[in-house]
Amino acid sequence: MTKKSSVCMGTLVTQRVYGVFAHRAIECCQRLFESLESEMSVFVPSSDIFMLNASAGKGPVKISPRSVEVLELAQRVSVLSSGAFDVTAGAFVNLWRTALAENRVPDASEIAVTSRLVDYRKLVLDSKHSTAHLKIPGQSVDLGGIAKGYAARLARETYQTYGVKSAVLDLGGAVLFVGRRARSSEWVAGIQHPAKERGACFACVSVVDKCVVTSGGYERYQLHDGIRYHHIIDPSTGYPSNSDLVSCSIVSHDPVWADALSTACFVLGSERAIHLVESIEDTHLILLTSNNEVYVSPSLRDSLRLLDADMRLI
């Protein structure tokens, strides 16, 4: 097994890869992650997404076919989740980032003004000409909720190219399990405990060739006047989402769906999340509510093990 960790796309990325060409596969994926970051980061002034946001309300910008593809996927999830995931949530993300950095929370009028900018239907994509356009000045795309899944999808293709049959790619909250563990056993994916140190899990689930992605308010937040403001915004209110969920994990073969849906379902809350996921093929979920109740899709029930005595399976 060859292992490599690096900081990329705003997170610690760890690859554990088996096989003769493991080393080459790892290096190739590393370059892939760096190129995705330079194309899709909202902070890199030469990136496609930066230029798209800077041109909001002006006109279409030419971007890479890959950027068009990830925007299309993000827009599809926005439609599917009725805007709980919104590819244009960037305006809210920026508002909260700026306000909290100034040690304050946005006021009601700022939320109201910004909410007019958050509308995934105003993102116009043209895959034929490889362009994108945000129709309203001030609109902003943020791919933070889907980019890791997209990176994991492309990484899996890279591993395949190098004949890798067994690997684990951890993108911080999004973990891709390629194939099986050695000796044909299953991988065991731990689900992070929201109140304990990194790596401490409240449940684990056995998987083969799946991606497991968890979204939770405990992951990234800032304190203001003793209140936690986390990084996932409910576009219907403009405030950090306040559903009954503490964390939401999606298990799917496709990392893109797993990533985007974990963010969407966290915002939707348990009832609507279960309903949404039931309608999508090969997508399963593990929910933890603020009452310490754990819900797991029937299809996953036999593979899940609860590790925390304070939590109840419902």
Q: Which residues bind Mg ion (CB under 5 A)?
A: 145, 259, 262-263
Measure the CA–CA gap between 233 and 241, rounded to whole angstroms: 5
By the 10 Å C-beta count (0-12 exposed, 13-18 middle, 19+ buried), 44 is classed as middle
Please report, as residue ranges, which positions from 256 to 275 form the binding site for ligand AMP (by CB under 6 A): 259, 262-263, 267
Regarding 85 and contact with ligand AMP (CB under 6 A), the answer is yes
Smallest separation, CB 217 to Mg ion (Å): 13
**292, 287, 293, 237: which is closest to 261 by C-alpha?**
287
Q: Applying CB under 6 A, does 91 fall inside the site for ligand AMP? A: no
Full strand arrangement of the beta sheet holding 187-192: 187-192, 201-207, 304-306
Q: Which residues inside 159-218 make contact with ligand AMP, applying CB under 6 A?
A: 173, 215
- Selection from ligand AMP, Mg ion, none that 89 binds (CB < 5 to 8 A by kind) is ligand AMP
Query: H-helix or E-strand containing 50?
Result: helix 48-54
With contacts defined by CB under 6 A, name the span among 142-150, 203-211, 279-287, 294-302 that binds ligand AMP: 142-150
Q: How far is the CB of 204 from ligand AMP (least distance, A)?
A: 20
Phi and psi at 84, nearest 5°, equal: -65, -45
Using rule CB under 6 A, residue 49 touches ligand AMP: no
Say how far apart CA 15 and CA 27 lie, in whole Å. 10
- Considering CB under 6 A, how many residues would be counted as binding ligand AMP? 17
Crossing angle between the packed helical segments 65-80 and 255-268, to the nearest 10 degrees: 40
* Minimum distance from residue 143 beta carbon to ligand AMP (Å): 7
Chain residues that interact with ligand AMP, rule: CB under 6 A: 85-86, 89, 93, 142, 144-145, 173, 215, 231-233, 235, 259, 262-263, 267
